[in-house]
Amino acid sequence: MRLLIVTAAAALAAIGPAAAQQPPAAAPGAAAAPSAAAPQPFEAGKPLGVTIEGKYSPMSRNVKVYGGVVSAESCSYDAGRKLIMVVNRGAAQNEAPNDGFVSLLNPDGSVHTARWIGVNRNGLVLNQPFGSDIHAGKLYLADSDGGTADGAPRVSVIRMFDVATGAPSGEIKVPDSQWFNDIAVARDGTVYATQTGSPDGQTPMRVYKVSPDGKARVLIDGAPLSLPNGIAIDNDGNLVVVNMGSTAVFTFSPNGALIKTEQAAQSGNDGLVIMRDGTKYISSVRLGGVQRIRPGRPAEIIATGIPSAASMCFDAGANQLVIPMNPNNAVAFVKLSEARPGFDGDAGRSRSSSRDVRNHRRPCSFGMEPRIAFAPPRKT
């Protein structure tokens, strides 16, 4: 395993409400006070570079920077630009609301754009995003409102962004749910989302179905779900769900009927990628392994020891899995030993996205070795 270390950390400031003050009356004949600045339009971040006297210059190609992630939870692969979209939760809602952002990484793990969505907050609300998926030119993110220090209740929100420009392009609120963990978008635009719930049952374990017109309903409620986490859509249009509370890998019909149950090699599962040939790759956020289930064969572990291996994605261009490691402010890359012809960025679904760091890789005992690009924990 090789470590690529960045020494930059994100500084966060939680700003409390200022005490209201009554302005003094203006003196006769005095000029009126200037009005508050008008809201500014959304602006996407630029690739790494400098701006001097108003002129932007990109970083030269002989420089590589690693890092650019803060509590990354998921990723999605942009096949058009061959870039990895890393979804960063940022600070918790009760610490610094509206702090989420999306960074762009190159296939070797170096930073392309540190804050593509979230370079500023003009025209942007992105609080604490978790799962992600790409469909029909839009990046879908599982976000939420509320959960702030003032006690506002938390509500699930699916936020959409234009893949080409990063601009917000709609949102769907689901008041019945407090928090979606992962999402998968079907070809017709229907969104399927997991609500992990709690072991004590106070928050139900569910899978939601959200139609393209924004209507949401509970599709699967309770058993056999066991802290459902990653969700993806297989090649037949069925839903595949991995669980944190068991090794079960469930396949459901789009109407919620259980079709089959497979067993992963580890429990505590989070990330899920499904290939064109039906092979499933699963990451365990609790036990740190990456598992492979080939059709009709038992699960096998292909990589181990990845701390907090969260929602991964598949980088088709580099033939690698990209695995965010949320509290570690890091991303791991696992090269796949076999090419997967015919796979494209919209065909593989995942609760987490995947990426790779290019460097010499020697086989480990399972035939693959994870590599990690990370920034140190941010100071709060």
Kindly report the three-state secondary structure assignment for every residue of the chain.
Answer: CCEEECCCCCCCCCCCCCCCCCCCCCCCCCCCCCCCCCCCCCCCCCCCEEEECCEEEECCCCCCCECCCCCEEEEEEECCCCEEEEEECCCCCCCCCCCCEEEEECCCCEEEEEEEECCCCCCCCCCCCCCEEEECCEEEEEEEECCCCCCCCCEEEEEEEECCCCCEEEEEEECCCCCCCEEEECCCCCEEEEECCCCCCCCCCEEEEECCCCCEEEEEECCCCCCEEEEEECCCCCEEEEECCCCEEEEECCCCCEEEEEECCCCCEEEEEECCCCCEEEEECCCCCEEEECCCCCCEEEECCCCCCCCEEEECCCCEEEEECHHHCEEEEEECCCCCCCCCCCCCCECEECECCCCCCCCCCCCCCCEEEECCCCCC
Model confidence at 375: pLDDT above 50? no
Distance CA 290, CA 367 (A): 12
Model confidence at 36: pLDDT above 50? yes
Distance CA 272, CA 134 (A): 15
Token pair recorded at residue 100: 């989420």
Average pLDDT over residues 3-14: 36
Give the residue with greater pLDDT, 354 vs 54. 54
8 Å CB contact between 270 and 281: no
Mean pLDDT taken over the chain = 84
Percent of residues, the chain, with pLDDT higher than 90: 70
Average pLDDT over residues 149-171: 96
What pLDDT score was predicted for residue 340?
A: 39
* pLDDT tens by residue, 186-208: 999 999 999 999 999 899 999 99
Model confidence at 223: pLDDT above 60? yes
What pLDDT score was predicted for residue 103?
A: 97
Weakest-pLDDT range from 62-71, 288-297, 352-361 = 352-361
* pLDDT tens by residue, 57-74: 888 787 888 888 999 999
Q: Which CATH number fits domain 72-374: 2.60.40.10, 3.40.50.720, 2.120.10.30, 2.60.120.10?
A: 2.120.10.30
Whether a cis peptide bond, with omega within 30° of 0, leads into 224 is yes
- Return the closest-CA partner of residue 160 out of 192, 113, 188, 126: 126
Q: Which amino acid is at 293?
A: I
Percent of residues, the chain, with pLDDT higher than 70: 79
What pLDDT score was predicted for residue 60?
A: 79
pTM: 0.81
Average pLDDT over residues 105-118: 96
